Structure 1
Amino acid sequence: MVVSALGTVGMLEAGFSIAEIFLSLGVLNAVIVGILFMLLPEFLQRFAVWLRFKH
C-alpha cells in the first residue's frame, strides 16, 4: 500500500493526470491477470464455466 501511494505521488509529480494513472493501473492489472491465467489455466477454465452458467 505504501509503495502504491509513493508510486502515485511520483506519477502526479511527473505530470500524469488522474485519468492516466487509472489507465496505467488498469493496464498493469490486465497484464497481471494474463500472467496468472497463463500460469494457472484451470482458473481461466473455471471462470469461463462460471460466466457461461451464471444466468
Structure 2
Amino acid sequence: MAFGLGWVQSLAVQTSIVRNIQIGIGDRRANEGLLGQDFLARFDVRILETEVEFRNR
C-alpha cells in the first residue's frame, strides 16, 4: 500500500510533546487496517490551521 508522507511540527497529548515527526497519509477508503485506527475511533478530530484537536466522544 502506498502512502503520501507529511511532517507535523509538534504533537501534544497531556504533558507529552513530540516535535518534527513524519507521518503517513493514507486513503480512508482503503480496506487495510492502519495502526492507531482503533485508538482514534474514540475521538472526534478537529483540524484547525495550526493544531489538531482530539475530543472524547
Per the TM superposition, whether the score is higher than 0.5 is no
Q: Which structure shows the higher helix fraction? A: 1
Q: Identify which of structures 1 and 2 has the higher relative contact order when contacts are C-alpha pairs closer than 8 Å and 6+ apart.
A: 2
Structure of higher CA gyration radius: 1
- TM-score normalised over the length of structure 2: 0.21
